[in-house]
């Protein structure tokens, strides 16, 4: 039987698209290079008993009517793929020298907390927080599919959003004259973007910040269950996800992509696969280079000219015989900086590879759901995330494997020292497992060029009007990935669903 949709890569947007198409009766075949499905969202098991999700920590837009919920309902998965909400009174705990702030869902409460810390800046704080809400509403109206009647009736919000098209978060902090420490507390979730305020698109920050305010969630049965549920829909409807298959070439006939060549990593056998329509979940720029960039239209070539998001360092750790709840951890993330200025902190780590005063995120997945465990009863998982420079790690790995391992060890040890000093004394005594990932680990296991974490970098340039979408200028060939939509769990659900909507005519996301 012919394949209707041949999909390269099993990242979240591909799985969502594939599951929706399979559910509608189409024949779907996914070729995935890794041994697990899910791309950045895959889960791996270590020492036969600890489960770690590669990159996902917390997600938004999972409540009733959100993109994730709409897709799950369409797939009849909404009853089983459920989410637990983080603590709305404080879902992100921000810690910096002399100040700390728990970010609440309610904007009025956020204004109150910030005003308590910086009373002399009451009006600036209030105006800034209100501007975020207004921009968020404007962006929602401007996101496709656009309803022109709503656009006209909410012109003030739309206008508010449009004025920040080229702004960084830092530009808007400056406009509202926020004190430095307030800026740092508000922007401390920078690892969610892997960009500091002076490079980060204000739009990207607003979408994520307000998204999490509306509801920060964790899947009740962990991320693995979400991925497996999407795969099951594909398989139940006669489709297939072929793991360990790396696509090495696209088959192109004039302006039509007809299939791909892939190598089976287990048998080393090379085969051609064809499909009526080819969906590309691997990085669009990389795919275009495989096909020949010059074969794409000038417009698409221009859109493909994005720079990659910085890469990251991850430490996956397990502690035993200690309850992290006793040390200030719970249904929230903790973000720490030793440096008051995040632009400087980022520069030190990313440009100078100096992690002596690190800024990083701490997540504790075991504490987020009691329905299913990700490790034995007497253990808990704790993970640390920060930025890391691809070129630096790649060079170390290529030239001096020992130095590469030492650098990873050094970063983890510095982070552990900071955590012992500020949060969990004797943490190291309770550590029973640790493994670290670098930019080259991302590249190896997630197939992302230069170990990029979020596809195209989340700068105003990449987040503006010239952003890539699913159009490739080839017949029967579409991009479906964070860089041709938006990065993140909910945004990649949206990316997969919007392409499904476009190709099937089934308007599941319509407002
Ligand atoms: C450090 C980090 C933390 C993050 N934290 C969060 C978070 O807390 N919340 C959130 O919402 N989002 C988070 N994200 C973002 C989110 O994980 C990604 O945006 C999303 O998973 C990307 O999905 P995608 O569809 O673009 O595909 P990807 O995940 O990029 O998957 C692409 C797939 O294609 C495969 N592939 C590549 N080349 C080939 C080939 N030649 N042949 C076959 N297969 C190939 C890859 O193996 C991979 O499986 C995080 C990302 C990172 C890096």
Residues flanking ligand 1, CB < 6 Å: 8-14, 31-34, 39-41, 55-59, 246-247, 281-282, 312, 385, 446-448, 453-454, 481-482, 487-489, 492
Cα distance between residue 370 and residue 389, in whole Å = 36
pLDDT at residue number 227? 98
Q: What are phi and psi of 122, to 5 degrees?
A: -50, -50
Quickly tell me which residue has 């795919």 as its tokens: 287
Over residues 65-90, the pLDDT tens digits come to 999 999 999 999 999 999 999 999 99
Over residues 384-411, the pLDDT tens digits come to 999 999 999 999 999 999 999 999 999 9
Average pLDDT over the chain, rounded to an integer? 97
* Average pLDDT score over residue span 197-210: 98
Beta-bridge mates of residue 259: 251, 274
Over residues 86-140, the pLDDT tens digits come to 999 999 999 999 999 999 999 999 999 999 999 999 999 999 999 999 999 999 9
pLDDT at residue number 137? 96
Question: CATH for 5-39+221-305+465-504, among 3.40.50.1000, 1.10.10.10, 3.50.50.60, 1.10.620.20?
Answer: 3.50.50.60
The residue whose CB lies within 8 Å of the most ligand 1 atoms, and thus the one to mutate among 44, 56, 448, is 56
Closest ligand 1 atom to Cα of 483: 26
If DSSP codes are grouped into helix, strand and coil, which group holds residue 94? strand
Q: Are 322 and 364 in contact (CB under 8 A)?
A: no
Q: What are the CA-CA distances from residue 431 to residues 261, 407, 434, 454 (Å)?
A: 44, 19, 7, 30
Cα distance between residue 449 and residue 285, in whole Å = 9
Stretch (H or E) spanning 8: strand 5-8
Over residues 3-29, the pLDDT tens digits come to 999 999 999 999 999 999 999 999 999
pLDDT at residue number 511? 56
Q: How far is the CA of 197 from the centre of ligand 1 (A)?
A: 23
Burial of 405 per CB tally in 10 Å (0-12, 13-18, 19+): middle
* Average pLDDT score over residue span 304-332: 98
Q: Cis before residue 464, ω within 30 degrees of 0? A: no
Cα distance between residue 476 and residue 466, in whole Å = 22
Distance, C-alpha 25 to centroid of its chain: 30
If DSSP codes are grouped into helix, strand and coil, which group holds residue 383? strand
Burial of 431 per CB tally in 10 Å (0-12, 13-18, 19+): middle
The two beta strands, 99-103 and 92-96, are antiparallel
Q: What are phi and psi of 105, to 5 degrees?
A: -70, -40
Q: Are 52 and 46 in contact (CB under 8 A)?
A: yes
Residue 510 has pLDDT above 80, yes or no: no
Q: How far is the CA of 38 from the centre of ligand 1 (A)?
A: 7
Q: How far is the CA of 283 from the centre of ligand 1 (A)?
A: 10
Q: How far is the CA of 363 from the centre of ligand 1 (A)?
A: 19
Q: How far is the CA of 280 from the centre of ligand 1 (A)?
A: 13
pLDDT at residue number 145? 75
* Average pLDDT score over residue span 140-155: 87
Report the 3 state secondary structure along 284-329: HHHHHHHHCHHHCCHHHHHHCCCCECCEEEEEEEEEECCCHHHHCC
Cα distance between residue 104 and residue 248, in whole Å = 47
* Average pLDDT score over residue span 494-499: 97
User: Of the candidates 211, 222, 207, 279, which has an alpha carbon nearest to the alpha carbon of residue 250?
Assistant: 279
């Amino acid at each position: 039987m012919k394949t209707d949709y041949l999909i390269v890569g099993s990242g979240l947007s591909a799985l969502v698209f594939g599951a929706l198409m399979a559910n509608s009766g189409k024949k779907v075949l996914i070729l995935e290079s890794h041994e697990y499905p899910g791309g950045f969202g895959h889960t791996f098991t270590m020492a036969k008993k600890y489960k770690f999700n590669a990159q996902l920590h917390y997600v938004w837009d999972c409540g009733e009517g959100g993109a994730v919920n709409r897709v799950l309902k369409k797939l009849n998965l909404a009853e089983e793929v459920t989410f637990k909400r983080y603590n709305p009174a404080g879902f992100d705990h921000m810690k910096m020298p002399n100040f700390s702030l728990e970010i609440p869902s309610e904007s009025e409460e956020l204004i109150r907390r910030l005003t308590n810390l910086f009373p002399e800046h009451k009006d600036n704080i209030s105006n800034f927080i209100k501007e975020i809400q207004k921009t968020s509403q404007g962006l929602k109206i401007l996101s496709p599919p656009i309803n022109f009647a709503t656009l006209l009736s909410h012109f003030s919000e739309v206008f508010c959003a449009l004025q920040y098209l080229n702004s960084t978060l830092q530009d808007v902090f400056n406009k509202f004259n926020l004190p430095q420490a307030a800026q740092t507390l508000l922007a401390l979730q920078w690892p969610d973007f892997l960009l500091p305020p002076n490079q980060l698109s204000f739009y990207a920050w607003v979408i994520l910040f307000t998204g999490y305010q509306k509801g920060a969630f964790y899947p009740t049965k962990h991320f693995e269950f979400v991925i497996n549920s999407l795969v099951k829909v594909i398989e139940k409807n006669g489709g297939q996800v072929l793991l360990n298959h790396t696509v090495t070439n696209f088959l192109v006939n004039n302006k039509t992509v007809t299939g791909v060549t892939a190598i089976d990593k287990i048998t080393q056998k090379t085969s051609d696969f064809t499909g009526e329509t080819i969906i590309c979940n691997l990085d669009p720029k990389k795919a275009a280079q495989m096909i020949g960039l010059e074969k794409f239209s000038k417009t698409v070539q221009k859109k493909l000219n994005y720079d990659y998001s910085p890469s990251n360092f991850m430490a996956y750790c397990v502690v035993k015989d200690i309850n992290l709840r006793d040390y200030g951890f719970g249904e929230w993330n903790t973000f720490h900086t030793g440096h008051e200025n995040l632009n400087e902190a980022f520069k030190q780590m990313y440009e100078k590879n100096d992690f002596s005063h690190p800024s990083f995120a701490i997540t504790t997945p075991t504490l987020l759901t009691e329905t299913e465990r990700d490790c034995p009863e007497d253990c808990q998982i704790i993970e640390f995330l920060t930025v890391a420079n691809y070129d630096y790690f790649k060079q170390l790995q290529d030239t001096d494997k020992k130095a590469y391992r030492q650098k990873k060890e050094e970063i983890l040890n510095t982070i552990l020292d900071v955590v012992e000093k500020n949060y969990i004394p004797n943490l190291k005594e309770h550590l029973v497992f640790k493994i670290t990932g670098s930019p080259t680990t991302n590249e190896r296991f997630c197939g992302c060029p230069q170990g990029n974490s979020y596809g195209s970098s989340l700068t105003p340039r990449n987040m503006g009007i010239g952003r890539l979408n699913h159009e490739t200028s080839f017949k029967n060939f579409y991009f479906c990935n964070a860089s041709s939509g938006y990065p993140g769990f909910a945004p990649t659900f949206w990316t997969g669903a919007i392409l499904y909507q476009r190709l099937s005519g089934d308007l599941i996301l319509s407002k």
